[in-house]
Structure 1
Amino acid sequence: MIPIEEARQLVLRHTGLLGSEDVPLLQGLGRVVAEDVVAPWNIPLTDSSAMDGYAFSASAGHGKCLRVVGFLPAGERRDIPLAAGEAVRIMTGAPLPPGCDTVVPIEEVEETVEGIRLRGEAKAGTHVRKAGDDVRSGDYVIEAGTTLRPQEIGLLASLGKVSVSVYGVPSVAIIATGDELVESDTQPVPGKTINSNSLSLAAQVLACGGRPHILGIAADERKTVCEKIDEALQYDVIITTGGVSVGDRDHVKEAIQSLGGKIVFWKVHMKPGKPVAFALLKGKPVFALPGNPVSAMVAGELFVRPALLTMRGVRNVSRPVVKATASEGFRNAGERPHVVFVSAALNEGKYVVGATGRQSSSRLSSMTAGNGYVQLSPGACLEAGDVVDVTLMDIATDRRMDNAAP
């Protein structure tokens, strides 16, 4: 068995970026930019008004009456310079006419028969958006490796972009193995188990931006497993679940090798999920995960997720880790590091964490009741009140004390 972090690094060492492609701008949301984006022009293009008001030169002076010589709505411009003592009525976003350097809001002037009179002192540059104040021509506005959010989409649109170059999305084949499995639309009978792993793993793939392809169930015989894995080679990544331990009907490792694959590692020093294997088959990464539901999802979280994110061009593949105070004791009496699922809740700005009940490799409810996990070293014994590192898996559903799981 190898340590968790060593296994993770081996996975990342054998995982490369996918190629890039141009996609319509809106389809780039959530994708990773493959090349630097340089601004072709200033934003704003010219000095413009930040308010509805009057534009003029500040040198006109305080208290003087200014003659209004026109109206300038957004979307239009005036190329005729204003003379000293003149002003133009202007709307937000309209470009300042030549000779203007200041805008005064409508409510800060007094209208007179002659024009307008300033109620206060006018300082040059007031309520003016300078050309290039947001973005200057030639600026690197978005770096390669940036994940596109709505705000980046808006910025690219303001630069006239209708498409964007992004890294590819990994296609992932998912194969379940086991004679005991039936699909989820089947009423199980004693001795049979619904194939939930394919759906939970597919959801994990979707959650980190991949495209899952569920290939069904392979019977516990080497020929069938080989055929399924061979079929899966049309995709970028292969995930199998079950059949990777040492039983008489565990054929996955041998099937990979018979097809010309190389086992990079098998068995990781952790609980749950020990009998996980990682292989390379015709240049494709293959993750052979255990059959127990929690074990499969733990292995998916620790090894598959960072690989898929890396292939998509994501630079930081780590989950956020926070300090939390244990609300109860935690103990690992075993000889392997234990991934314990927990519910972390904010209480007066600080995290409090408790376990999600009995931890078992087959008990998915230990995961559904929580939003993160704690990794306990062999022999670790934490008391209530101790501070522990918690890896948060669900930031969007960050819990509060009033809705935390019991």
Structure 2
Amino acid sequence: MRSAAEHLAQVLALVEPPPPRRVPLRDALGAVLAVDVRAAGDLPPFDNSAMDGYAIRARDVVQATEAAPVRLVVAGESSAGHPWDGVLGAGEAVRIMTGAPVPAEADAVVPQEQVTATAGTVLVDAPVPPGRHIRRRAEDARHGDLVVEAGVRLRPRHLAAAAAAGNGELVVLPAPRVAFLVTGDELAAPGATLGPGQIWESNATYLEAALRSLGAVAVDLGTVGDTGEAVRAAVEYADADLVVTTGGASVGDHDPVKEGLAGVGVEFLRVAIQPGKPQGLGVVGGAPVICLPGNPVAVAVCVELFVGPAVRAMLGVPEPAWEPMRALEPWRCPPGREQVMPVVLVDGDADAVAGGVEASGAVAGALPGVRPATSGGSGSHLAARLAAADGLARVRAEADAVEAGDIVAVRRFTV
């Protein structure tokens, strides 16, 4: 059997990011930035006022007091988009609005509530230090400064920063197109009346939501019947950067995915994990193909371990870390396979944590950690109970049991 780490390496070796493209800001939301965004000019591009008030020369009001205010002649007005183009002289002030350019020779702004305005003049009754209430040119960014670093998934704040720095277009990694299909004549649509031997289909619902959450364009190839020809045709004609299949990849008599794809570029193998042992991997029609088991929990686990990393690699997004946490109660593990257990994270009230550990027979007072999400362990069929989990815990293949207090690698669900 191939280890999970070896299988992931093989998956990542097959995928490539779509070529970067330049898009308008409005189309960049959610995309991953491929090229650094730098300031197209100084930001702000000129000295401007931080207040509504009067632009003055600080040296003109050094002697101002309440008893002997200094009277300045209002020489003009500067508002946003309509600067005053004169040069401020001795004994003059310019009415100025927030964001408006500061006139030449002015070096301070007095807020309007701190002066007394009369017809054509303004009285200042206290000294004003140079630089008061002036936003200096380039104090936010200088021309060429880094504004948004490549590799960031673009959010509204990033787009605003890029726009403020004079960038109307960005070079991004486009969302990869990931096609998916599910197999099984036993599958019925959610909400439909079940016939004999049927179950409600959930993998398509999960995969579409998971792929979209990862930042991919999810392409539904539909529920394919249990024939190799149908599977092969769907995969060969998928217009996608990656194809994901579920079900029909094991060693049964009716495994259409294996039947349809084994001879056209997909290797079917066993991966040493529970759940998720039977899998396939290869290239069909130029597109990488990941074939997952059909049981819903196994699909969720394999998306977290293999499909998610593949999509993040295509987007240039780093892989979230797994963190060491303490098991709060014991559970069994399959011999010779790495176990991936859906778990509940307990990281709140210390008394609640201690109570949970005590109830399991372990030592009270253990550090916050994790416990299995269900009493059914990591059974790949426990789809409804998967909703109770916060994330996954990974237990090394050499372990046949986890004891309360043992350290396991844990990560919250990424989708």
Q: TM-score range by the shorter chain?
A: 0.7 to 0.9
Q: 1 CA distance for matches of 2:347 and 2:118? A: 59
Aligned residues: 389
Kindly indicate whether the alpha-carbon contact (under 8 Å) linking 1:68 and 1:116 is maintained by their aligned counterparts in 2.
no
- Aligned counterpart in structure 2 of residue 287 of structure 1, from 287, 290, 302: 290
Equivalence map 1:354-365=2 (5 Å): 354-357=371-374, 358-359=376-377, 360-365=379-384
Letter in 2 for 1:243: G
Deviates further, 322-331 or 164-173: 322-331
Deviations 1:74-95 (A, max 9, x none): 2321121112332223221111
TM-score, normalisation: structure 1 = 0.86
Q: Which amino acid aligns with 2:317?
A: R
1:389/1:227 Cα in 2 relative to 1: closer, same or farther (>3 Å)? closer
Any conservation in 2 of the 1:225–1:251 contact (CA below 8 Å)? yes
Q: Which amino acid aligns with 2:273?
A: M
Equivalences for residues 103-114 of structure 1 within 5 A: 103-109=109-115
Q: Is the Cα contact below 8 Å between 2:32 and 2:317 reproduced in 1?
A: no
SS across alignment from 1:115: strand
- TM-score, normalised via structure 2 length: 0.85
Equivalent residues in 2 for 1:179-258, closer than 5 Å: 179-232=185-238, 234-258=239-263
Q: Are 2:119 and 1:116 aligned?
A: no
| 1:129 equivalent in structure 2 | 135
Structural mapping, 1:104-183, within 5 Å = 104-109=110-115, 115-119=122-126, 121-183=127-189
Counterpart CA distance in 2 for 1:116 and 1:384 is 77
Q: Show CA shifts across 1:224-268 (max 9, x none).
A: 322222232x22211111111111222423422323x143x7221
Is 1:347 aligned to residue 348 of structure 2? yes
What's the CA shift for 1:194?
2.1
Q: Which amino acid aligns with 1:248?
A: D
CA 1:52/1:389 → structure 2, altered by over 3 Å: closer, same or farther? farther
| Contact kept in structure 2, 1:43 and 1:131, CA below 8 Å | yes
Q: Unpaired segments of 5 or more residues in structure 2? A: 65-69, 351-366
Aligned partner of 2:391 in structure 1 is: 372
Residue 67 of structure 1 is matched in structure 2 by 72
Counterpart-to-counterpart distance in 1, 2:191 and 2:349: 45
Q: Is the 8 A contact 1:63 1:117 kept in 2?
A: no
**For residue 402 of structure 1, what is the aligned residue in structure 2?**
none
Decide whether aligned partners of structure 1 residues 188 and 108 sit closer, same or farther in structure 2, where only a CA change above 3 A counts.
same
2:249 maps to amino acid? V
Instruction: Please name the residue that 1:275 is paired with.
Output: 278
Aligned-pair identity in percent equals: 36
Q: What is the root-mean-square deviation in Å for CA atoms of aligned residues?
A: 2.6
SS class of match (1:342): strand
Query: Which residue type is aligned with residue 133 of structure 2?
Result: H
2:79–2:101: 8 Å Cα contact kept in structure 1? no
User: C-alpha offsets along residues 188-209 of structure 1, whole Å, 9 cap, x if unaligned?
Assistant: 1231122211121111111111
Q: 1:254 to 1:44 in 2, by over 3 A?
A: same
The farther-off stretch of 323-332 and 301-310 is: 323-332
Aligned to 1:8: 8
Aligned to 2:358: none
CA distance in 2, matches of 1:394, 1:222: 32
SS at match of 1:347: coil
The residue aligned with 1:17 is 17
- 1:42, 1:137 within 8 Å by CA — same for their partners in 2? yes
1:368 shift after superposition: 0.7
Alignment of 1:47-66 (within 5 A): 47-64=47-64, 65-66=70-71
Compute the displacement of 1:333 (Å). 5.2
Unaligned runs of 5+ in 1: 396-406
Q: Which moved further from structure 2: 199-208 or 122-131? A: 122-131
* Alpha-carbon shift at residue 311 of structure 1 (Å): 1.6
Indicate if the aligned counterparts of 1:331 and 1:376 stay in contact, CA closer than 8 A. Answer: no
